[in-house]
Amino acid sequence: MIKELNFELKYSRFSIIFQLFIGLSLAILLYQLLSPIWWLVALILFSISFLIFLKQSRISQIAYLDQNFWSVAYSSQKIISRLEITKIIDYQIFMVIYFEGAPMKVAIIWFDQLSLQHWKKLKILQKLH
């Protein structure tokens, strides 16, 4: 049972493509609405925010401990944290997990980070939570 609720997360390519698509769509929309200098400023701000998005600490592994407590390992740190999950929201292509009292209060897990079997288990867990 415990091994079944141990999720090893891969790097998500879909999240990068999704962020680039949204940024590009906003840049095209703003190009039509703003003067060229303001559009250039907005494009620079989009680029900076995308770089910050890439530098964020990501979860590399999440495993069930007991009740609402989970162990969470971040890819940039060697520390494994014991956190309590307060809420899980399913958006079909990604899930948002809210933690209680964590340095990162929110974690996003994309569908391409897990195998199909583990993704289904996480969806079941979301319905039970």
Distances (CA, A) of 37 to 4, 22, 30, 31, 120: 54, 21, 11, 10, 47
The residue-averaged pLDDT of 80-96 equals 90
Please, what is the end-to-end C-alpha distance for the chain in angstroms?
17
Radius of gyration of the chain (CA): 18
The residue-averaged pLDDT of 104-129 equals 87
Mean pLDDT of the chain: 86
Alpha carbon distance 88, 108 (integer Å): 10
Q: Say what the pTM is.
A: 0.80
State the pLDDT confidence band at 129, using cuts at 50, 70 and 90. Answer: confident
User: What are the backbone dihedrals phi and psi of residue 13, each rounded to the nearest 5 degrees, phi first?
Assistant: -80, -30
Tell whether the model's pLDDT for residue 70 goes beyond 50.
Answer: yes
